[in-house]
Structure 1
Amino acid sequence: MESSFSSLFISLAPYIISLLAFLVLVEQIKYLKKKQRIPGPSLVLPFIGNAISLVRNPTEFWELQAENARKSNTGFSANYIIGKFIVFIRDTDLSHKIFANVRPDAFHLIGHPFGKKLFGEHNLIYMMGQDHKDLRRRIAPNFTPRALSIYTELQQHTILKHLKSWLESPDSGSKAFPLRLLCRDMNLETSQNVFVGPYLSGETRTRFDVDYNFFNVGLMKLPIDLPGFAFRNARLAVSRLVETLTGCAEDSKNKMKSGEDPTCLVDFWMQDAIREVNAAEAAGEKPSPHTRSVEIGGHLFDFLFASQDASTSSLLWAVALLDSHPDVLSRLREEVSRIWSPESGKLITADQLREMRYTEAVAREIIRYRAPATLVPHIAGEDFPLTETYIIPKGTIVFPSVFESSFQGFVDADRFDPDRFMEERQEDRVYKKNYLAFGAGAHQCVGQRYAINHLVLFIAMFTSLFDFKRERSDGCDDIAYVPTICPRDDCKVVLSLRCRNFPCLS
């Protein structure tokens, strides 16, 4: 029996090999047909393409894509990853063309090459048209000046709590230690406190942190949806995270029905949801599904994902860039000291925050110089004419590069220069189209004011409370993807208190 099977296999082997060779050839021809004459590799590995090089060294992979686009003067380049043809876009005008055509018959924003498998169908980024406009209208009241002022207090309490724990580290004042995981943990707690406040506590919060870590790890792994693989763990974690946030939304709805004042983002959201439900019921109509707790729980996860890693990236680059630009640090500290002192024991008010114009210019320049989410993946729902000579084929994953746009147009763009955002120069207005860190078009980030406030608050407090010195090593400022970008050494610094009389840390 075994001998017969071996004989059969030997006799079929040439046909199997021929079939595999034929499939590889067909795949290669399909790739070249889509690629046409645009820059990119002429030969790719069958089925997996260049996925290994992307996972092994994403920085080098995307730099090569940008270099190919730059050298050819097309403004874009091609590649192939796990059966998917991709187009990388460096040119700002072409990126805007993608952002402006998010609709069913053009481009669909996906946020991650395998996002629907990972995030599920609920995600805000997958919505288009009137449904998307209606949801953004409902989200807007969550970011009014009144709401932002409440978030400002929550942000500062969390920042100070974590800065105190950094100071109490055994290595503080003597040894350098990396800030990335510390900043990540601080941002996760900040997002939790701002978005769902008192509704996430104790064991639920601990489990939430574990699940979010599963999600974070799976973001950068190959999409192998099998037990034991990081991608599967991440996908299941997303389901549990959304379920937890749904419970928070339901608890908030019950609290807001009793007439209490809002204390976090979900409370503001639920106040409006309750008004909408009451109005619909009074009119004998069915309430919008966007008012249901399960829908809002899903969108709260979208907010968490959008704010968490991007903010961590910006905080790390803030420390790294201020350390390497002492003139900027000195000027920033001088401005903050005129407006707020930690020795007062008081938090920074909303009015004081608005006065910190140079500090905000520093924050905006950090975001331009090191845009956290460097790429914004879309998928072509139909063939789309990108230029007069090239049509993007249906199914292509398109990567407009926010990072590359940030170095186009601006004066001396490779230089870290916060003054470009001050009133005298107004480069943020003159070169507005190149400042794409918060996106553009219908899906532009609705929480960008909140994100900038958070970075300004951290910078003001961190630089006022601490003297810090970066432990510099070869390549420490190289870009690493985790999945947003951060310094390769995770920003290792030595921290020490600037003075001892800081009541706000007591």
Structure 2
Amino acid sequence: MDPLSVSAILLWLSPYILSLVAFLVLFEQISYLNKKRSTPGPTVVFPFVGNAVSLVRNPTKFWDVQSAMAKSSGIGFSANYIIGKFIVFISSTELSHKIFANVRPDAFHLVGHPFGKKLFGEHNLIYMMGQEHKDLRRRIAPNFTPKALSIYTEIQQHIILKHLKSWMESPESDTKSFPLRLLCRDMNLETSQTVFVGPYLSGESRKRFEVDYNFFNVGLMKLPIDFPGFAFRNARLAVSRLVETLSFCAEESKSKMKSGDDATCLVDFWMQDTIREIAAAELAGETPPPHSSSIEIGGHLFDFLFASQDASTSSLLWAVCLLDSHPDVLEKVRDEVSGIWSPESEKLITAEQLREMRYTEAVAREVIRYRAPATMVPHIAGEDFPLTENYTIPKGTIVFPSVYESSFQGFIEPDRFDPDRFMETRQEDRVYKRNYLAFGAGAHQCVGQRYAINHLVLFIAMFTSLFDFKRERTDGCDELSYVPTICPRDDCKVVVSLRCTRFPSLS
């Protein structure tokens, strides 16, 4: 067919194509309004992509607008539209609990990320429900016993110290400010790798692991365009490689635990029970128990990594920011820690000493309340669900319960950074327990929250004992930046100097 004929056909078809596009745009708009009803939200949305561009360009502003609409309406939720998906943002604590309490096939499915299934795969801990989910959590429980946590505490301290020393040896450390975000992220990545899979990740594998995890991190904040050359595709492929690497670690751990060696990392504690269950099944002539294959365990280990990595980085940064802006709190932390542990002792903080740091732990808990790192926990409505008497969430809606908003509800003077609220005299953590949702609620509540708290307390204790530090404050430096968890906009720029006569070498 010659070019003139093709042009003629296209010219003849153009009115029909334009009519089809106009129909699709109109249908999409009507569908959105029908789902939205009287819920606060934009009346008109951009065709096909909705408000995805504004979300990617400035997520802080996007969610601030959703929050403002939810609050001003008095109903506690608002609506929007992103790439063919109708979304509902929930600011009300009680409505958030209603979502968390109804994670089941005929109600809400936890997704962790709006496009998480494309990234993490279908058979992920995040997406499990019912008895299967309970059974897997039962298998995970030995990973966080006091004995296991005490071993992790040693690992955490060695890596924290290693990285703090490298920060101190930076040529800019005494004279110039430097941002902590990437430094804390790298420290946490090494901590997670070592705590979770310890000796099974070799030097070269660890380097590749870090490259792939960076691909994953970048892709989390991009549009879900699954084509070569796009960040989302790079992230999805990186997750596959990361899971494969972690599955090799699980396989090596199984061999080591079969030999009767002592557990030295999280996967070892996990495999101790797993190999016993596999052996019992083989003896009975049965198939291996579910979730015991190395590739499945590799996927679950990646879940742990994702859950601990960026959330922990966020909390470390906000701890430094808030201690800098609250010198009275910093002084009380230093007084408590110095009465229990000193860097000059050349010893690690023991599990018993860690438990004695009650005020420092109160600071850690208040940091997490005041700046909940994972501000929202996305769910998808598996069926139509009556959220209130007047509104039913349509099937397929992505629902965002905001744990950040809940953190500022109920507590006494919630806008004030006040660690004393978590001390025994006030016990706001008990009185307002329903509002403290940073670790989630219901069946999917974070199983590793004690580990996360320990890590933050150890960092605060060591950082404040070893360093004098000062933020380089600029306009807007404390505004929220989504990367994907929330961090200060300036990445927490500080100047540090050593408080001790020499940097300790802890044993």
TM-score w.r.t. the length of structure 1 is 0.99
Match in the other structure for 2:9: 8
| Corresponding position of 1:494 | 495
Contact 2:152–2:265 (Cα < 8 Å) also in 1? yes
Aligned to 2:254: 253
Q: Which residue pairs with 2:219 in the alignment?
A: 218
- Tell me what 1:311 maps to: 312
State whether residues 164 and 463 of structure 2, in contact with CA within 8 Å, keep that contact through their aligned partners in structure 1.
Answer: yes
Answering whether residue 200 of structure 2 is matched by residue 199 of structure 1, we say yes
Aligned position for 2:486: 485
CA displacement, residues 307-330 of structure 1 (integer Å, 9 cap, x when unaligned): 000000000000000000000000
In structure 1, the residue matched to 2:293 is 292
1:69 aligns with: 70
Which amino acid in structure 2 is aligned with residue 248 of structure 1?
C
Q: Distance in 2 between matches of 1:243 and 1:10?
A: 52
Q: Does 1:171 align with 2:162?
A: no
Which range moves more in the overlay, 151-160 or 494-503?
Answer: 494-503
Counterpart-to-counterpart distance in 2, 1:102 and 1:359: 34
Structure 1 CA distance for aligned equivalents of residues 43 and 497 of structure 2? 53
CA distance in 2, matches of 1:355, 1:502: 24
Cα RMSD after superposing both structures? 0.9
2-side partners of 1:504 and 1:329: how far apart?
24
Name the structure 1 match of 2:239: 238
Q: How does 1:265-304 map to 2 (within 5 A)?
A: 265-304=266-305
**Other-structure match for 1:93:** 94
Residues 347 and 506 in structure 2, CA contact (< 8 A), matched pair in contact too:
no
SS at 2:103's partner residue? coil
- Match in the other structure for 1:434: 435
Superposed CA offset, 1:16-35 (max 9, x none): 11211111000000000000
Counterpart check, 1:157 vs 2:163: no
The letter of the residue matching 1:504 is S
Q: 1:278: how far off?
A: 1.9
**1:469 aligns to what SS in structure 2?**
strand
Relative to structure 2, which stretch is displaced further, 289-298 or 42-51? Answer: 289-298
CA deviation digits over 1:66-119, x for unaligned, max 9? 000000001000000000000000000000000000000000000000000011
Aligned partners of 1:122 and 1:299 also within 8 Å: no
2:27 paired with 1:37 = no
Following TM superposition, by how much is the alpha carbon of 1:430 offset from its aligned partner in structure 2, in angstroms? 0.3
Which amino acid is the alignment partner of residue 289 of structure 1?
P
- Name the structure 1 match of 2:397: 396
Unpaired runs of 5+ in structure 1? none
% identity of equivalent residues: 82
Alpha-carbon separation, structure 2, partners of 1:356 and 1:282: 48
| Corresponding position: 1:372 with 2:373 | yes
Task: Confirm or deny: 8 A CA contact 1:345 1:502 kept in the other structure.
Answer: no
Structure 2 portions without partners, runs of 5+: none
**Structure 2 counterpart SS, 1:175:** coil
Paired with 1:142 and 1:8, the residues of 2 have a C-alpha distance of 66
Give the CA deviation at 1:282: 2.8
- Of stretches 284-293 and 64-73 in structure 1, the one that deviates more from structure 2 is 284-293
CA contact (8 A) 2:380 2:396 kept: yes
- The whole-number CA distance in structure 2 between the counterparts of 1:343 and 1:328 is 23
In the TM superposition, residue 11 of structure 1 has moved relative to its aligned partner by 2.7
Structure 1 counterpart of 2:265: 264
For 2:151, give the aligned amino acid: I
Letter in 2 for 1:78: A
Q: 1 CA distance for matches of 2:258 and 2:13?
A: 71
Map of 2:423 onto structure 1? 422
Q: Distance in 1 between matches of 2:81 and 2:40?
A: 12
Give the C-alpha shift of residue 499 in structure 1: 2.0
Deviates more, 1:16-25 or 1:363-372: 16-25
> Given residue 145 of structure 1, which amino acid in structure 2 is its aligned partner?
P
**Counterpart residue identity of residue 116, structure 2:** G
Deviation (angstroms), 1:7: 2.9
- SS of 1:472 mapped into structure 2: coil
CA contact (8 A) 1:161 1:505 kept: no
- Looking at structure 1, the residues matched to 127 and 300 of structure 2 have their Cα atoms a distance apart, in angstroms, of 11
The answer (yes or no) to whether the contact 1:364–1:418 under 8 Å persists in 2 is yes
CA contact (8 A) 1:405 1:436 kept: yes
The residue number in structure 2 matching 1:339 is 340
Q: Distance in 2 between matches of 1:33 and 1:396?
A: 13
Which whole-Å CA distance do the structure 2 matches of 1:423 and 1:283 have between them? 51
Alignment correspondent of 1:146? 147
Q: 1:363-383 CA deviation, whole Å, 9 max, x = no partner?
A: 000000000000000000000
CA contact under 8 A between 1:362 and 1:418: conserved in structure 2? Answer: yes
Paired AA for residue 324 in structure 1:
S
Q: Quote the Cα distance in structure 1 between the aligned partners of 2:8 and 2:123.
A: 53
Q: Distance in 1 between matches of 2:6 and 2:503?
A: 80
Q: Corresponding residue for 1:183?
A: 184
Tell me how far 1:294 sits from its aligned partner: 1.2
Find the aligned partners of 2:432 and 2:114 in 1 and give their Cα distance.
29
Q: Normalized against structure 2, the TM-score is what?
A: 0.99
**Alignment partner, residue 349 of structure 1:** 350
- Give the count of matched residue pairs: 506
Give the CA deviation at 1:505. Answer: 6.5
**2:253/2:268 contact within 8 Å kept:** yes
User: CA separation of 1:285/1:4 partners in 2, compared to 1, >3 Å: closer, same or farther?
Assistant: closer
CA contact (8 A) 1:100 1:441 kept: yes
CA contact (8 A) 1:111 1:378 kept: yes
Shift of 1:61: 0.3
- Aligned partners of 1:421 and 1:226: how far apart in 2? 48
The equivalent residue for 2:451 is: 450
Distance 2:203 2:409 in 1: 47
Q: Measure how far apart 1:503 and its partner are.
A: 2.6
2:385 matches 1:384: yes
Q: Which amino acid aligns with 1:93?
A: E
Q: Distance in 1 between matches of 2:150 and 2:9?
A: 75
Of 282-291 and 82-91, the range deviating more from structure 2: 282-291
Residues 199-235 of structure 1: CA deviation (Å, up to 9, x unaligned)? 0011111000000000000000000000000000000
Query: Shift in Å at residue 14 of structure 1?
Result: 2.0
Equivalent in the alignment of 1:468: 469
CA positional deviation for 1:360? 0.2
Per-residue displacement from partner, 1:29-76 (whole Å, max 9, x unpaired)? 000000000100000001100000000000000010000000000100
Letter in 1 for 2:230: F
Distance in structure 2 (CA, Å) of the matches to 1:505 and 1:151: 15
CA drift of 1:283 comes to 2.8
Counterpart amino acid of 1:454?
Answer: H
**Structure 2 SS opposite 1:141:** helix
